Amino acid sequence: MRYLYYWTDEIPASPNSNQEPAAFFESLLSAQDRFSIIVDDYRELESALQGVTKEAGYELVLYRESAGSDNVIGQIVYTKPNSPATTAGLKRGDVITHINGQLLTANTFGALLGQINETHTVTYRPFDVVNRTLGTTPVTLSLTTIEYAENPVYFSQVYDFPAASKKVGYLMYNLFSAGTISGSTVYNDQMDAFFAGFKSQGITDLVLDLRYNSGGAISAAVNLASLMVCNVTANTVFVQRQYNQQVIRDIVSDAQLGPSFLVDRFVEKTQSVGSQLTRVYILTGSRTASASELVINGLKPFMEVFIIGQTTVGKNVGSILVNEDDNPANTWGMLPIVLKLFNSQGQSDYDNGFAPDIKDLDNSLAVYPLGDVRESMLNKALVHITGGPVGGRVGAAERFDREVIATSFDRKVYRNRLIIDPL
């Protein structure tokens, strides 16, 4: 930590090393640090950083059942292909009220969310997709958990609006991962194929949905950004890295690293649709963070980025995984903040997140399927692109006047992580 930590000068001179590991780690952190973590199993963390977790295959947002109520409801925002949740029939819009027979409340929801990575039961009110209403008869299901490798691309589609002379590519991307294991590029290769399809179909506009994407690998962020931008070369800077002064000196003087290690550059991609776009529309949520924000910031010097949704988290710093390889008995692993990130113009002013150009709290109980042109956030983007109504009459949504109090994403160890290649 004294060598790598971004705020190394703020580490106490004589910390109490008699504390338990997690408490000792916390005692070293700067008051500015919102994101460094330590875990007792770095192998589980390594898998999670590639999108491989033990789960049933659904994600939730949680709200108070009504204003002033202690009861909490968990709305399923999406289920994952070929997962136990999808096989059991859970779907977007269903509302969970109990986990393992216990009512979700303001006092219990945290502990109950911690139980869903093992076999568990959920009691829920099914959402009627046709009538867009919640059922009144609760259903209870038992869900098993599996080691699930989540494909970052959840949905891809091209929408044709001939009257407006527009073809819109839509991509929902939920995790920045280059592949299922370290060194793999299978997901980056898949992303290239998706954009090759967008290019061949002649899209004029792009909607990138990052509302559920809270971070991941910088290599995946570089790849994605390179597929959306034009007039860049392999020498064009995407992001600049700022480590502490000691680390910078060592990087610059290292023959194998050198000054070039302090920047990440765009990759020239034949699949890029940048020449076909004037702007990119990005959909954001309250948990959109890290690598998602890196893409927004990195693209801004080269094209217009139009944001629809909620203000993002505001994470302009990155981590590396630190663990002890030589002692099999020591399974602890750290993700300390080691650097701050700046775009090619030296900008890194999003500590408080990126505010949307069009606000959408995405908190309706009467949802449309993801990818449906009537779905609230996508619809706002399509209306802005085409200049007219899309999808016929979109009914007034049943909305809350309060914020999300928690999500299932919050419990994931890779949340808000931007993972940097080790030194």
In DSSP notation, 298-335 reads HHTTTSEEEEEES------EEE--EE-SS-TT---EEE
- Whether the per-residue pLDDT at 398 is higher than 60: the answer is no
- What pLDDT, in 10s, does the model give residues 55-86? 999 999 999 998 888 999 999 999 999 999 99
Q: How would residue 414 be classed by pLDDT, with cut points 50, 70 and 90?
A: very low
Architecture of domain 54-148: Roll (2.30)
Q: How many residues does the chain have?
A: 423
Provide the pLDDT for residue 397. Answer: 53
In this structure, the strands spanning 333-335 and 216-217 are unpaired
Provide the pLDDT for residue 410. Answer: 81
Which residues, including other chains, have CB under 8 Å from residue 125's CB and lie 6 or more apart? 94, 95, 97, 134, 135, 136, 137, 138, 139
- What pLDDT, in 10s, does the model give residues 300-309? 999 999 999 9
> Which residues on adjacent β-strands are paired with residue 279?
304
Look at the pTM and tell me if it is higher than 0.85: yes
- Whether the per-residue pLDDT at 205 is higher than 70: the answer is yes
- Whether the per-residue pLDDT at 401 is higher than 70: the answer is no
Provide the pLDDT for residue 419. Answer: 52
Provide the pLDDT for residue 420. Answer: 56
Number of neighbouring beta carbons within 10 Å of residue 410 = 15
- Whether the per-residue pLDDT at 332 is higher than 60: the answer is yes
- Whether the per-residue pLDDT at 145 is higher than 90: the answer is yes
Lowest average pLDDT, out of 142-156, 272-286, 312-326, 404-418, goes to 404-418
Domain boundaries defined on the chain: 54-148, 150-397+414-419
Architecture of domain 150-397+414-419: Alpha-Beta Complex (3.90)
Q: Where are the beta strands (DSSP E) in 215-272?
A: 216-217, 237-242, 263-265
Provide the pLDDT for residue 66. Answer: 87
- Whether the per-residue pLDDT at 255 is higher than 80: the answer is yes
54-148 and 150-397+414-419 have identical folds: no
